[in-house]
Amino acid sequence: MQRRNFLKSAALGTAAILSGLPSLKAQAASKMKITKIRYYAAPGYNKPLFNQARGIVEIETDGGIIGIGEGGSKDMIEQCAQMMIGEDPFRIEHIWQNVYRGMFYPPGREKLHALGALEMALWDIKGKALNVPVYELLGGATRDYVECYATGFRASKAKTEEERARDCIEAGLRAYRIGPTGGNGEEPFDFYDNVKKTIEFCKRIDAAVGGGGKWAIDLHTRFDMTDGLKICTALEPLEPYFVEDIVRSENPGVYKTIRTMTKVPIAVGEQFGDRWDTNELIENRLIDYTRFTVPNTGGIGEFKKLASMCETHYVGMIPHFTGPLSTAALVHILGSSSPARCLMELGGGEPERPPYFNEDFINFKNGKLYLNASPGLGVKFDPKKATFVMEVKEKTRFPHPVLKSPDGAIHNW
């Protein structure tokens, strides 16, 4: 009798809790459909040196919830968006697989960038619908904050790079990242001369911050293998946090050779996309840190898969900076990933706060990024402060056949 009364009370208590959280009813299935997808240009953003867009996407549902994402070019967003109209926004992985595989040929990195922006917006929708932050959907917080490193340090009034590096560390950031000397594009690049100058520059930075791995260098794929390794060999006694992009990225297999020829921590991945771009580097333990990021990888879900690969092979994650909304998304991802070592890059040593996002969308203090507990990505977008480019509200006029197995999973056509 007591057991029956206990179970009855427990059931009533659970019902009362659920009635107070109506958004939880949406967990089994969303009854929403994607109705419109809009694309905006980010005002003032002009980075001709990078073939990387920073547009803002809005995905609107018939349930009144709008999610936002960042990245992609107009043409790629349009193609991907036409494949998403009418879909249930909660089926994030299903939508991703359809867009990724649905055009037969594997997507290039530009399309991955667009897919990543749209997929980011789907997570934002789901978090808002369930009234939880994205990191809770990804498994919950695993760390209190994410450490950061700076590429440049705008807050410093110093006149030398050594003084800026010192100011950066004193402000609480974990490391100061520099680049090689030379290479301004206006004068011929003397490789032999700049190898020597880069090594000397690193020695000055190391002395300025007091060693201890408080600095790193990106060789920017600028050197050939001989010169890149010459720099790495000279830097080994200085113990930098990492040396990035020692050689060009077209042939990642060359790191099988590089790995045996230097002891510096190697960072690679900024120029790569999904897991098939980097799986051999990770699985063969040819690098120490991945630089892959969102939206370049194809989105939040794909990044989490890559993070699992990194955890399995003891590879750290130090994502490349791509944009302010992507930075917010990365805090959710890294803040809910394995406790493996990770850092986030901040251009200028501080988060960018564009006027079209709410001022408090990013929680940054003492050189660290903290989790945002607001629903979804925790970012509010004001489209009136951006530049409207297009709206997609109809499915593609050229639909491709979708090959499904008996259980409904999507396969290559």
Specify if 18 maps to a domain.
no
Specify if 290 maps to a domain.
yes
Based on the structure, what is the number of domains in the chain?
Answer: 2
**How many Å apart are CA 243 and CA 216, to the nearest integer?**
6
Provide the sign of the torsion angle of the four alpha carbons 203, 204, 210, 215, taken in this order. Answer: negative
Specify if 42 maps to a domain.
yes
Are residue 213 and residue 361 in the same domain, yes or no?
Answer: yes
Are residue 141 and residue 230 in the same domain, yes or no?
Answer: yes
Can you give the pLDDT at residue 104?
80
CATH code, domain with 328: 3.20.20.120
CA 149 to chain centroid = 15
CATH code, domain with 42: 3.30.390.10
**Which residues of the chain fall short of a pLDDT of 50?**
1-28, 48
Can you give the pLDDT at residue 4?
42
Distances from the Cα of 51 to the Cαs of 109, 222, 321, in angstroms?
10, 17, 14
Are residue 280 and residue 182 in the same domain, yes or no?
Answer: yes
Backbone phi and psi for residue 337, each to the nearest 5 degrees, phi listed first: -95, 180
Are residue 238 and residue 92 in the same domain, yes or no?
Answer: no
Q: What is the per-residue pLDDT across 35-93, written as a single tens digit (0 to 9) for each? A: 999 999 988 776 645 667 789 999 999 999 999 999 999 999 999 999 999 999 999 99
Can you give the pLDDT at residue 53?
73
Can you give the pLDDT at residue 346?
96
Are residue 86 and residue 50 in the same domain, yes or no?
Answer: yes
Are residue 122 and residue 148 in the same domain, yes or no?
Answer: no
Specify if 11 maps to a domain.
no
Q: Which domain holds residue 205?
A: 136-370
Backbone phi and psi for residue 8, each to the nearest 5 degrees, phi listed first: -65, -45
Are residue 189 and residue 155 in the same domain, yes or no?
Answer: yes
Contacts of 369 (CB under 8 A, 6+ apart): 145, 146, 148, 327, 331, 344, 351, 362, 363
**Number of other CB atoms surrounding residue 236 within 10 Å:** 12
Are residue 343 and residue 282 in the same domain, yes or no?
Answer: yes
Specify if 17 maps to a domain.
no
Can you give the pLDDT at residue 105?
84
Can you give the pLDDT at residue 32?
96
Specify if 12 maps to a domain.
no
Are residue 184 and residue 240 in the same domain, yes or no?
Answer: yes
3-state secondary structure of 86: coil
Specify if 10 maps to a domain.
no
Can you give the pLDDT at residue 279?
94
Are residue 194 and residue 57 in the same domain, yes or no?
Answer: no
Whose structure tokens read 């001709």?
48
Q: What is the per-residue pLDDT across 208-230, written as a single tens digit (0 to 9) for each? A: 999 999 999 999 999 999 999 99
Can you give the pLDDT at residue 29?
64
Are residue 194 and residue 120 in the same domain, yes or no?
Answer: no
pTM metric for this prediction: 0.91
User: Based on C-alpha coordinates, what's the Rg of the chain?
Assistant: 23
Cβ atoms of 95 and 122 within 8 Å: the answer is yes
Contacts of 41 (CB under 8 A, 6+ apart): 55, 386, 387, 389
